[in-house]
Structure 1
Amino acid sequence: MTVSTVPFTFTSAGDRLVGNLYLPEGEPTGVVVTTGPLTSVKEQAAGVYAEALARRGFAALAFDHRTFGESEGVPRQLEDPLGKAADISAAITALLADERLAGKPVLAVGVCAGGGYMARAVADDSRIRAFAGVAGVYPDAAANPADPAVVERGRLARERRLATGEVETIQAVAADNGDVAMPLTEAFEYYGTPRGAVPNYTNGFAVESYEHTPGFDAQEAAARLAVPFLLVHSEHALVPPWARKFYGAVTTDKSELWLNSVGQIDFYDDPRLIEPAADAAAELFRSVL
């Protein structure tokens, strides 16, 4: 199926956000909102899955969250899980106000960290009809509490910015996996190389993000989900025990698809994972139409 891509802009908390809306041929059967991994932008994993769902007959939006990519917001490169969940709800409001999509059922896909962010958005926004988490990371704050020293580092960075205007930033990835947001070799091999480092991407992470990310909990959202849920994961992806715990706590209709990945990052760009994941998501989404 031929897919067309058009710009889609909206506002969240007063900031202008920029997205790509993927449209299928003919009338879309529903509208999917996507969110992706830590520090990522719309041209990376979120866009890959949005395009894949558009090929399956859905309109699908990938967008740059506040402070990332082409979207507004300060400090730049601030990773705020609850802020990203709020952006998702703002995106839904804008999508349903679009005459091309008015009245369409809203569906959700979260990839990697976006799986946890989307879980909170779905639990809190009754407009979403179904949710697929692909290689989702579902932090368990109760079992893995935030390191107070890390949170304090974030707080001090925020206070310094407010006092001086200086934003303290570290790299998202680096070859030596040093003081970075994602100390994973496979993450560097994606974000730190032409494989994933698209022009819109910035290899940066605002240190004050540490006020928000270490204590974020996605597990509490599992029991609050009121819509069908699909878990797509791999034994080689990040934190399978969190995925299993989240899945086990979901009380609504649910299904799971375990694929054989090399690691976490190949879920972002390997068709051998993307296609079956998108097929399963599309099957779930059609079941609620």
Structure 2
Amino acid sequence: MEQAIEKDYLTFTLSDKVTMEKVQYKNRYGISVAAHLYISKDFDKSRKYPAVIIGTPYGGVKEQGAGIYAQNMAERGFIAMAFDESFNGESGGEPRKTASPDIFVEDFSAGVDFLGTHPNVDREKIGAIGICGSGGFALTAAQSDTRIKAIATTSMYDISRLNRKGFMDSMTDEQHKQTLKQSSEQRWNDFTEGKYAKTPSFPDQPLPAVPEGLDPVTSEFFEYYAMERGFHPRATGNFTVTSSIAFNNFPLMSYIETISPRPILLIMGENAHSKFYTEDAYKRAAEPKELVVVPGARHIDLYDKVDLIPFEKLESFFKENLK
């Protein structure tokens, strides 16, 4: 008999130094975004504080890595918020499990809308952290939303580039044409059947071990999302098949150099399979920028391993640049 999985839980232990509040607000498309707001129990209600908005890894939810980041930043004196992207987690939007680069970028700005009207947030001191896929969304939001004063990413992925060119630009032109053909024709199937086909998902129960025969990248994601380490029933890792069409038409970070003179901090693991995307973003970004390499860390290790995530560096970066 399968064990019932409680959907309203965190994959980490809530610190006794912070309070966590469930909040909800709308983005400019009218979609309700669900978030967790973390505030230190020591905070002074008569003061205004710097704030940080934190996006989830692509396919993740706020109860996982983004919540770990928000909790740790709150312990360090920031008002911090982790949110679920539209169509996913507890956020609104139909059809469910849609991935939209435009709307995911907008969700960061909607979070700035909310934080900037919080009575204890200094709206001139708001930064953003993007983990994995949300790193690309956070940087893209900052290109046009000047209210985001400083941006950090960890284990960053460029999801648009991944869709258009394959992992590390390994897709041939012929392969790309074939993927476009398949996703385009899928629209007819979806229209005819009245429902949206989705890509494969992680299991609905945590696995005791990573399945054999997976490629190294997929195996790593299974280690986090499909085992007790990071399993959450809302983080199924799948999206509508036709979501890939939008990413092909919406290149992320096209104007990353225009974020300057606002600072960018890019953090990656020494052994991360995604290093290619962080290193390229660092080359393209203008000063001030900084690249931090975490010794021994893989891609997923910067989701949840608090002994490897350089929170002291994140604290000093945002305190220096949100002052």
User: Normalising by structure 1, what TM-score?
Assistant: 0.89
Q: Please give the alpha-carbon distance, in whole angstroms, between the structure 2 residues aligned to 1:206 and 1:58.
A: 35
2:95 is the counterpart of 1:75: yes
Query: Corresponding residue for 1:151?
Result: 180
2:184 is the counterpart of 1:169: no
Aligned ranges 1:1-289 → 2 under 5 Å: 2-12=17-27, 13-24=29-40, 25-27=42-44, 29-101=49-121, 103-138=123-158, 140=161, 144=169, 147-173=176-202, 175=211, 184-214=218-248, 217-226=251-260, 227-274=262-309, 276=310, 278-288=311-321, 289=323
Q: Evaluate the alpha carbon distance shift between residue 158 and residue 67 of structure 1 in structure 2; reply closer, same or farther with a 3 A threshold.
A: farther
Deviations 1:130-174 (A, max 9, x none): 011111123656893782322333333344334432110122447
For 1:52, the aligned partner's letter is N
* Percent pairwise identity: 26
What SS is found at the alignment partner of 2:82?
strand
- 1:248 and 1:183 map into 2 onto residues whose CA distance is 24
Segment of structure 1 superposing worse, 134-143 or 166-175: 134-143
Contact 1:30 1:58 in 2 (8 A): yes
Deviation at 1:241, TM superposition (A): 3.0
Compare CA radii of gyration and give the structure with the larger one: 2
Worse overlay, 97-106 or 191-200: 97-106
Q: Work out the CA distance in 1 between the residues paired with 2:278 and 2:123.
A: 32
| 1:7 alignment partner, SS class | strand
Deviation of 1:106 (Å): 0.9
SS of 2:273's equivalent?
Answer: coil
Residues 116, 167 of structure 1: CA spacing in aligned structure 2 closer, same or farther, 3 A cutoff? same
| Secondary structure, counterpart of 1:256 in structure 2 | strand
Q: CA 1:222 to 1:232, structure 2 compared with 1: closer, same or farther past 3 Å?
A: same
Deviation per CA, 1:101-145: give whole Å up to 9, x if none: 253511010011111111101112100000111111236568937
Summarize the Cα distance change of 1:183–1:51 in structure 2 as closer, same or farther, 3 Å threshold: same
Q: Which amino acid aligns with 2:87?
A: T
Measure, in 1, the Cα distance between the counterparts of 2:87 and 2:151.
25
Cα separation, 2, equivalents of 1:156 and 1:99: 49
For structure 1, the 5+ residue unaligned runs are none
Output one character per residue of 1:239-268: Cα deviation in whole Å (capped at 9) or x when no partner. Answer: 323322211222131122111234211111
Q: Could you say what secondary structure the match of 1:30 adopts?
A: strand
How far does the alpha carbon of each residue in 1:194-225 deviate from its partner, in whole angstroms, 9 at most, with x for none? Answer: 22112432343211122133565334232121
Displacement of 1:88 after TM fit?
A: 0.9
Output the aligned Cα RMSD. 2.6
- The aligned amino acid for 2:150 is A
Gaps of 5+ in 2: 1-15, 204-210
Q: C-alpha distance in 2, partners of 1:248/1:162? A: 42
- Indicate how the Cα distance of structure 1 residues 164 and 7 shifts in structure 2: closer, same or farther if over 3 A, else same: same
Partner Cα distance (1:235, 1:215) in 2: 31
Separation in 1, partners of 2:182, 2:99:
14
